[in-house]
Structure 1
Amino acid sequence: MKVILDASGFAIPAAVVSIGMFDGVHRGHAKVLRQLRDHGERLGLPTALVTFDPHPRAVVRPEACPRLLSSVDDRMQLLAATGAVDHCLVLRFDQQRSHQDAGAFVRDTLLAQLGMRELIVGENFACGRGRVGTVAYLSSLGSTLGFSVSPVALDAVPGTQEAVRSSSTEARRLIQIGDLAGASSVLQRPHEMTGTITHTSGAPRSRIHAALASAMCAPAEADYVGAVRRNGSAAPWIPALLRVRDDRRSRRRMVQMQAVDEVDVSPGDELRIRFVDRARHGKAPSGQESMRA
């Protein structure tokens, strides 16, 4: 997957396109991405995905901006791993873009730069100023400008009694109430975060304290089983007990970790933290449970 961070001068002659934040690249996103790849292969065209940084609500309504499930770098890795995207265009979302209407966005970016022949989006998709660029609006525009729109129906998570949508909103809700197993069903993997080490203790260094970024979606205050490893490392995950607490003095969300083995980190380093499930009283994390993908 080719990632384009600077859109100036970038253009391809034709593509099948999808648009969205794709925060967490969850089960619902996977369905959209499968159709993106399938339709690209059927038409003999490359696939292109347009996403944004920062989250549009961080600009339009900062007070309502959600905590993110994945950083931009994580999002790129997750998208690349699907094998569905040939070109990923990361657009800077700022005040100027927030005032761009849906028609101008389609003409200036999706058609002029990506040569869009078909648009694949979730059935609840909307873009442009005031979110007027709904599937119905875009379909009508496409009949004039020469592209088609294929909406993808949103599915419930398998095993749920109600029609819970496979959405970033639902994944965040489950994480924030501490239902990490439920969140894994939406994400199709355990939830992971990066923490900055504040201090370590014990010999060997198996007791670790880390601060979590305030912009990221962190689990509720509770004890969890999971695993840790140095950020960016390909080393095996080390099972750990993860205690999430708010530090009232610093107003930061903290994680105290008791790993089953030494972790080669020092204060200031970044640690990758994988949350699997709530800890059951008296049960230590096992390698098999904590490393489940």
Structure 2
Amino acid sequence: MIDITKLLHITRSKKNRQEDRHLCEKHNQLLTLFYYISTLKVLLSKAVENSVLSEVELFSQIKNFHRKSEDEMSPSIFSIQLRREGCSFPLQHSALQKIIQKFRVDIILDPETAHPHLMVSEDKKKRKQNVPDFPKRFTVNAVVLSFPYLHSGRHFWEIEVGDQSEWAIRVCKDSLPTKARRPPSVRQGCWRIRLQGDSYDAPGAVPSPLLLEVKPRSIGVFLDYELGEISFYNMTEKSHIYTITDNFTRPLRPYFHVEPDSKPFRICTGTD
């Protein structure tokens, strides 16, 4: 005799897997579509603002870009509501991987800015604790800035935070005061996501809570300077966390904050 309950359970499980696979495919299409739209916006804005292209050159570039995008993917038009927790998908087949491959920048820490309780390792990829003070360092908050100065273009970098209980990953203007007692705000030109205990939040007059189903051990940051966007990604499950939109007018620098007694963390490289 057939176990109806077991049969229904198997049927539902199979259906749920099919739905999850379908959602992930749509999510991947959304990321790819975002990648192409972002590139096209930059092309158009540069041409209009700087008047560096003639009409013939402009339309020629647009035509070439359109042909390339058609070869790689022809996105379908759809309306879909993704589950709140998002979904994971193979990184090598995603638009996120294209962003990483094309826009990854080598970030190195600036030892002259590091808080006295932070030490920059020889390869300038890690931070450790308990080192002598340095006059040009941040002296109140456990902060270190990094190179390069970012004043145009698109850039991606990744930070391994591990199992830290508290951290903040920021992108800030290059002119922050180093002796301030309070961390910089959005008004001062500093944008971030933060972990405190078990709570994640993003900037605002009242910080917006972020619900993450999977705790990230690594955070990806994608800056599009011309579009005024900073996007944060949970690289543990390859999902988008949050995008900040603003108007950037000064060079920006990656800005890192952890507690002095925390474990070391490092900036990931393209070979990781």
Q: Determine if the TM-score, normalized by the shorter chain, exceeds 0.5.
A: no
Select the structure of larger CA radius of gyration: 2
Using the size of structure 2 for normalisation, the TM-score is: 0.23
Structure number with the bigger relative contact order (C-alpha 8 A, sep ≥ 6) is 2
